Structure 1
Amino acid sequence: MAGRGGMTTVLAAPPVDRLAAVTPTLRQIGDLKRVRVAHAEGSVAERAFSRAWAALVGGADPAVVADRECAAALAGARLGGMDAATLTACGLAQTEVETVLARAVDELVGSLHPDTGRRLRAALPHLVDHALPDAPIPPFVPALRRQPRAGATAAGQPRLVVEPAENHAEHCWAVAVYGALLADDTGADPAQAFLLGLAHHLHNARLPDAGFAGELLLGAYLTPMTDRLTEWALAELPEALAVRVNAVLAFRVDADTPLGRTFHSADVLDRVLQVHHHARAAAFTVEQALVDLALVHDGPVVDYQRAVLRAAGL
């Protein structure tokens, strides 16, 4: 939980040597918070959040869910909304879908721990043949999809509002995926890291987010309130799953364990990468689009297109 993490002094060293190499991959995965498609409501990230909880409530093994969702996220970093279900619906055969997904994963998997890469490649076929279980989604899932994040706040300072705000489902999904992708480097269990990230803001299904500044004002009321609201959310889960989720939530309070370090690495990376996104968006220039990203790219009519732009003064 960001608030509790913010109130705990953590002096542990960064947990992985490859953080500089993996962060650009995490950044691209995080952009799935901002990718949408015509045939479904919400971002790719929040729909993945719902899909993960539906699978868990339906009795799926958290390790299988974690690998499947991380593989989908890594592929999605390159393919955006062209996921396995969409490619299948558009007429590709199963082997063809697997080929496309593997191409996307191969572009980014080199930044990850080799064991992580092997697990994600092995999960790719399951993205094609997987069907969601007929299980109800807990009420906290759509609530977290609706609940906006507060963003950066500081005591005594005016609130900085950036739009569009991410929601708690998107943040929790990102922390879950980042944690599972970092787990092999930190010595944590990927499934536990995924569950912890997925569940660490259950209390915000009912409690609006006022940021760290608001949590400071709650003072001694904060912990009992969030504990109570978390219990209410856990009561919406099957008992065995609730017990398992509750057990991993205990590791969010410090960075003294591999799981705690993994969670806090994923959480702080996502919070700061989100701010970097808004800064990049505000500073974006036409030159970046035309030169760096080759908006008008090579092709049979590129000379004509460039002539049009010159004539238009663009």
Structure 2
Amino acid sequence: MKKHIIINLSIAIVVAVMASCQPRNKDTQAVSTEQKETANNQPIQPADSGYADVNGLKMYYEVYGEGKPIVLLHGSFMNIPLNWSHIIPVFAKNRKIIVAEMQGHGRTKDIPREFSYENMADDVSGLLKHLKIDSADILGYSMGGGVAFQFAVRHPEQLRRLVILSGTYKHDGWWPDVEASFATMNADMFKGSPIEKQYDSLGNDPKNFPAYVKKVLSIDVKPYDWSKEVKNIKAPVFIAIGDADGVQYEHALELFRAKGGGKMGDIHGLPKSRLAIIPGTTHIGMMQHMDWIIPMVNDFLDSDLKPTPPTF
């Protein structure tokens, strides 16, 4: 049974990567004009791109649009095109979008350094300094959610507002079977997948792919718990999970309650932070429901976030 679950998870990841490259089509959900343009192989071009020297890393990044800056942090094994290609045109309409590839991912080559959420958060901090951006909104998906949590804890002066999509702040925030699967996943599960093909196409030695997979998974096979630090984050937080996500409901609710949630807003006013449980949505499916999620994120980022006074 355990092997069956792990194989299914592996297949889901591969399918997700292929699906994440395309927006959902009109037969399943309406997509925006910008998303259709991307689907027609007419993506917008970055206003800036290059490599930032941060913490011994040459970190690849791209910048799109104008307005308040938001940094998008991808999930495990992903990169800019795999995770964000159909999302950038929508977000960039009214914002400056900064996308980067984390250590060992995409065009950011690995270095002999421990792979950790803390290190990657420091890299994002260094990138903002490189771009001369004092503070930004941070949105992280899955692994990127963990990086975003650590960024908020370690670099609060650079954070305006925090958005977490299907991310955890402690290892047992995942459902037990999901957490158990991390230790048994390996490179064979990605054989012939877009993840392996992307790795090979970007100048990496294919012989190093198994070590790359093991290194990426290393951050989730050892216990971590940032509950105290995360609950003390001063910036407003919007946390969203799917109702069929790998993240436990209680995990998200625990943080939301710590940030002022769990009360009737008509009596006590709205908290500055927000929670969304997206219906009919898996962990992978979060990226396929961005046409639902982006309006919620925009509303969160654009609101003044002042508590609403009681109505009675």
Into which bin does the TM-score normalised by the smaller protein fall?
Answer: under 0.3
Q: TM-score, normalised by structure 1?
A: 0.27
More relative contact order in 1 or in 2 (CA 8 Å, sep 6+)?
A: 1
Tell me which protein shows more strand as a share of its residues. 2
Q: TM-score, normalised by structure 2?
A: 0.27
| Rg larger for | 1
Tell me which protein shows more helix as a share of its residues. 1
